Amino acid sequence: MITVVIADRLGKGQNVAKGVEAAGGKAVVVPGMGADMRLGDVMQQENADLGISFCGSGGAGALTAATKYGYPERHGMRSIDEGVTAINDGKTVLGFGFMDQEELGKRIVEAYMKKNG
């Protein structure tokens, strides 16, 4: 089962989690304000396959996870299609502007499963 950690600057991410679970993945939502800055730490704890970070710029949590743990990341994304492309390019940490949408979680997991069998 694919494990996806979701970390939102404002403590949200529940809708993305629903999409992850609808696609057959396991969603771990990091609680609390500033959760995006703990993305990499929680990915390590959960031995996660993917991490999704949300903040205004779409970069802080993803860049922190990449810097601290070496995860391949793409940040500053504003659309689901950009996230799917990042998965296809081998990225495992995705940084978005605020987009707590069920479709995002579903399509990211589907893209990861298609790419990785």
pLDDT (tens digit per residue) in 83-99: 999 999 999 999 999 99
N-to-C CA span, the chain:
12
Domain that holds residue 32: 1-114
* Single-letter residue type at 59: G
Q: Which residue has the higher pLDDT, 42 or 56?
A: 42
Q: What is the pTM of this model?
A: 0.96
Residue that is written with structure tokens 């995006």 in the block: 36
Q: Given this model, what pLDDT does residue 105 score? A: 98
pLDDT value for 56 = 87
Give the pLDDT confidence score for residue 58 in this predicted structure.
Answer: 83
Are the C-beta atoms of 87 and 111 separated by less than 8 Å?
Answer: yes
Average pLDDT over residues 70-90: 97
CA distances from 113 to 24, 32, 64 (A): 10, 29, 25
Find the mean pLDDT for residues 40-47.
98
CATH number of the domain encompassing residue 44: 3.40.1400.10
Percent of the chain topping pLDDT 70: 100
pLDDT digits (tens, 9 = 90+) for 1-22: 999 999 999 989 999 999 999 9
57 has pLDDT over 90: no
- The answer to whether the CB of 69 falls within 8 A of the CB of 113 is no
Number of domains making up the chain: 1
